[in-house]
């Protein structure tokens, strides 16, 4: 730390600071009940300015102050959340209840029009708005687009059930989405209610279930498209037609306390899908569906998932990437704290042959496995189509992936599978504190092809040594 001030100047500066802090505290006490939002910005602006100035004057090049500033920013965050909760009771917050716009909530009448009207008014409110869906009622809704930008911050308070219309004709205009939120910033979705995709008829007509049918798209239950500063908290999402919730081109997203359920045999019903999204945290959520619990695909950066319970389903996936020779990038993904039970994969990275780009800086740690197939897998020969994929030299590169503290049981003998590309081997793969045994207690084994590996400390099972890696037989594990 380099203190470059004369002592007198230093004392003067700190005195000013104390005065400012006292001012801030009184300002806080005074305005907490009345002008919560104003207080927040005023207080944090003044103090951020002070911190910055002190830093500039006194602690040049020191990172001590950066961490102090970080702590103070965190404190502000907590306060601001409190303020938000409190702000709702504020006179300036207006509630737009779908019932007031003619919704019946009897599970039979189509309430789409009422939802549209309520949204339109909520979104044009000049002060903070709450779009409200009442508890203990069931609203039948056809595809709907909640369009932004809105004039002020907005909360979707979903306390009842929103049930998807089964009428296929209503999905003609947009086959890919049921509930779609477009370009809304500062949005909170919460309320403890249920979003029910009513997906049964879609699943039955899927080509993955009935091979005689042509393959066609099905809608994602809830899509958040181009939303920034988004919070999704305390919701249940079930029986989606296809994916349950998709974050598409969003920035700064907090997801917590989400429960997602669909039958194990429902096709393509990913739990949480992240695409082209930056800075998203998913925490304390329970997901069990017929496809990936979490899937993270191209354009995503800064993804943290923690406290995830997963199963049944296909596990936690990065990919698939690079299909149809596309270019794909995923980076800075951390899965920290997950409990997987009976899934067909554990933590997986899957790429198609022929793609370009890279998946890098990925960490999987603190993961518990219970009877999981393919617990640790990198599959650079992913091929999810009827006819075989042809061999190609291009590949989405996989660089810097750490697996740490992953323990439990594998449903198969092969617990660790690195099936990497011959022309673009997986680089910087680190394994530490891995202990996976077969579910019956037998030893598991590792299959390692074209991987540049650094095993540190306890790793069970280990890649076989002194084997011509290319000669290892492949295709023994099932691909989903």
Which of 53, 92, 95, 252 lies at the binding interface for ligand NAG (CB under 6 A)? Answer: 252
Please report how close the Cβ of residue 180 comes to ligand NAG at its closest, in angstroms: 21
The residue from 132, 177, 244, 314 that is catalytic is 314
Binds ligand NAG by CB under 6 A, chosen from 198, 371, 410, 438: 371
Q: Which of 234, 279, 306, 392 binds ligand NAG (CB under 6 A)?
A: 279
> 234 vs 259, which CB is nearer to ligand NAG?
259
> Which one among 20, 69, 79, 368 touches ligand NAG, defined by CB under 6 A?
368
Count of residues near ligand NAG by CB under 6 A: 28
Q: How far is the CB of 166 from ligand NAG (least distance, A)?
A: 31
Q: Cα separations (Å) of 157 from 41, 65, 234, 301?
A: 25, 39, 10, 29
Asked if 411 interacts with ligand NAG (CB under 6 A), we say yes
Half-sphere exposure of 222 (CA within 13 A, CB side): 21
Q: Does 283 bind ligand NAG (CB under 6 A)?
A: no
How far, in Å, CA of 69 to CA of 279, rounded?
20
Binding flag, residue 268, ligand NAG (CB under 6 A): no
435 lines the binding site for ligand NAG (CB under 6 A) = yes
If the CB atoms of residues 112 and 279 are measured against ligand NAG, the closer one turns out to be 279
Q: Which of 361, 392, 394, 462 binds ligand NAG (CB under 6 A)?
A: 361
CB nearer ligand NAG, residue 245 or residue 411? 411
Q: Is 314 one of the annotated active-site residues of the chain? A: yes
Q: Name the minimum Å distance from CB 329 to ligand NAG.
A: 6
430 binds ligand NAG (CB under 6 A): no
In the complex, what is the shortest distance from the CB of residue 238 to ligand NAG, in angstroms, rounded to a whole number? 17
Which parts of 385-404 interact with ligand NAG (CB under 6 A)?
Answer: 399-400, 402
Residue 478 interacting with ligand NAG (CB under 6 A): no
The answer to the question of residue 360 lying near ligand NAG (CB under 6 A) is yes
Q: Among the candidate windows 7-15, 253-261, 359-367, 471-479, which touches ligand NAG by CB under 6 A?
A: 359-367
Give me the least distance between CB of 368 and ligand NAG, in Å please.
Answer: 5
Under 8 Å CB-to-CB from 217, ≥6 apart: which residues? Answer: 175, 176, 242
Q: Kindly tell me which residue out of 353, 358, 374, 380 binds ligand NAG, with binding defined by CB under 6 A.
A: 358
Decide if residue 278 touches ligand NAG (CB under 6 A): yes
3-state secondary structure string across the chain: CCCCCCHHHHHHHHHHHHHHHHHHHHHHHHHCCCCHHHHHHHHHHHHHHHHHHHHHHHCCCCCHHHHHHHHHHHHHHHHHHHHHHHHCCCCCCEEEEHHHHCCCCEEEEECHHHHHHHHHHHHHCCCCEEEEECCCCEEEECCEEEECCCCCCEEEEECCEEEECCCHHHHCCCCCEEEEEECCCCEEEECCCEEECCCHHHHHCCCCCCCCCCCCCCCEEEEEECCEEEEEEEEEEECCCCCCEEEECCEEEEEEEEEEECCCCCCCCCCEEEECCEEEEEEEEEEECCCCCEEECCCEEEEEEEEEEECCCCCEEEEEECHHHCEEEEEEEEEEEEEEECCCCCEEEEEEECCEEEEEEEEEEEEEEEEECCCEEEEEEECCCCCCCCCCCCECEEEEEEEEEEEEEECCCEEEEEECCCCCCEEEEEEEEEEEEECCCCECEEEEECEEEEEEEEEECCCCCCCCHHHCCCCCCCCC
Give dist(CA 315, CA 473) in Å, integer: 24
**Of 363 and 472, which has the nearer Cβ to ligand NAG?**
363
341: contact with ligand NAG by CB under 6 A: yes
Angle (deg, nearest 10), helices 7-31 and 36-58: 170
337 part of the interface to ligand NAG, by CB under 6 A: yes
Does the footprint of ligand NAG cover residue 437 (CB under 6 A)? yes
Q: Using the rule CB under 6 A, which residue among 42, 302, 307, 455 binds ligand NAG?
A: 302
**Binding track over 444-463 against ligand NAG, x by CB under 6 A:** --------------x-x---
Output 128 or 411, the one with its CB closest to ligand NAG. 411
Q: How far is the CB of 328 from ligand NAG (least distance, A)?
A: 10
Query: Which residues contact ligand NAG by CB under 6 A?
Result: 251-252, 278-279, 302, 309, 337, 339, 341-342, 358, 360-363, 366, 368, 371, 399-400, 402, 405, 411, 435, 437, 439, 458, 460
The catalytic site residues sit at 314
């Amino acid at each position: 730390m380099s203190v470059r001030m004369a002592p007198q100047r230093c004392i003067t500066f700190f005195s000013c600071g104390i005065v400012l802090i006292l001012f801030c505290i009184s300002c806080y006490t005074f305005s907490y009940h009345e002008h919560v939002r104003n207080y927040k910005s005023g207080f944090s602006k003044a103090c951020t300015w002070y911190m910055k100035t002190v830093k500039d004057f006194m602690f040049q090049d020191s990172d001590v102050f950066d961490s102090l500033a970080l702590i103070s920013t965190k404190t502000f965050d907590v306060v601001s959340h409190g303020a938000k909760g409190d702000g709702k009771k504020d006179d300036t917050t207006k509630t737009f209840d779908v019932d007031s716009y003619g919704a019946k909530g009897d599970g039979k009448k189509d309430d789409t029009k009422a939802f549209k009207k309520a949204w339109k008014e909520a979104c044009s409110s000049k002060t903070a708005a709450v779009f409200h869906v009442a508890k203990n009622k069931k609203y039948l809704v056809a595809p709907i687009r909640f369009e932004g930008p809105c004039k002020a911050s907005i909360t979707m308070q979903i306390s009842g059930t929103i049930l998807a219309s089964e009428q296929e004709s209503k999905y003609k205009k947009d086959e890919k989405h049921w509930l779609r939120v477009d370009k809304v910033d500062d949005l909170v979705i919460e309320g403890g209610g249920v979003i029910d995709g009513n997906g049964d008829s879609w699943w039955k007509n899927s080509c993955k279930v009935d091979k005689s049918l042509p393959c066609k798209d099905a809608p994602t239950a809830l899509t958040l498209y181009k939303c920034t500063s988004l919070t999704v908290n305390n919701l249940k999402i079930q029986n989606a037609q296809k994916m349950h919730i998709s974050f598409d081109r969003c920035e700064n997203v907090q997801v917590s306390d989400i429960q997602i359920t669909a039958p194990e045999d429902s096709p393509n019903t990913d739990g949480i899908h992240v695409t082209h999204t930056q800075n998203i945290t998913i925490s304390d959520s329970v997901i069990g569906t017929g496809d990936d619990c979490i899937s993270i695909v191209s354009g995503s950066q800064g993804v943290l998932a923690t406290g995830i319970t997963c199963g049944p389903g296909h596990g936690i996936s990065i990919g698939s990437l690079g299909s149809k020779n596309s270019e794909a990038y995923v980076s800075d993904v951390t899965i920290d704290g997950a409990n997987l039970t009976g899934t067909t994969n554990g933590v997986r990275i899957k790429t198609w042959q022929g793609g370009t780009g890279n998946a890098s800086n990925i960490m999987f740690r603190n993961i518990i496995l219970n009877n999981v197939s393919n617990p640790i897998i990198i599959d650079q020969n992913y091929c999810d189509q009827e006819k075989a994929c042809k061999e190609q030299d291009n590949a989405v590169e996989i660089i810097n992936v750490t697996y740490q503290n992953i323990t439990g049981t594998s449903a198969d003998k092969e617990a660790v599978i690195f099936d990497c590309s011959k022309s673009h081997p997986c680089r910087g793969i680190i394994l530490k504190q891995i202990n996976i045994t077969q579910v019956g207690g037998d030893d598991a084994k590792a299959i390692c092809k074209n991987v540049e590996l650094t095993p540190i400390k306890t790793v069970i099972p280990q890649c076989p040594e002194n084997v011509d890696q290319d000669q290892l037989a492949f295709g023994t594990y099932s691909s989903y």
